[in-house]
Amino acid sequence: MIKPEDIKGNDERAEQIRLFSWASINRPQYPQLKWLHAIPNANSHRQVAEGVRAGVADIFLPYPKLKIIRGDISRCYGLYIELKLPKRFKEKNGGLSQAQIDFGRYANSVGYLWYACYGWEQTRDRIVEYLK
């Protein structure tokens, strides 16, 4: 099995591959990772026609759980993550497009958690935090 540190590249694609490498290695510890999956971005007319939407997060973990925020208990239906390169954090809106911001707000408002994460390691940490 390929380790995250063995994956070459400096782009978001490489970061996402590192994350999924980590997820494969750690499935025995976190069996919920079995259904962690990537969501393709809309970058062609055909993809839009097929139902791919701009702004939808890159990664989804369909694992519901209860969450407690300020003493209130509610159900969370799953975790969406928009994965960005760490250097994008300093950009306007953290490098997020308006469509990504809108999707994040929508997802959070209807019972999902949505995070923008910068690099595969921060993404991994958010997933582990969510699963605990």
Ramachandran angles phi, psi of 126, nearest 5°: -65, -40
* pLDDT for res 69: 66
Mean pLDDT of 79-100: 96
CATH number of the structural domain 4-131: 3.40.1350.10
Give how far Cα 1 sits from Cα of 20, 30, 102, Å.
11, 17, 37
Mean pLDDT of 74-83: 93
* pLDDT for res 121: 98
Distance CA 61, CA 131 (A): 10
| Domain ranges for the chain | 4-131
What's the whole-model pTM score? Answer: 0.90
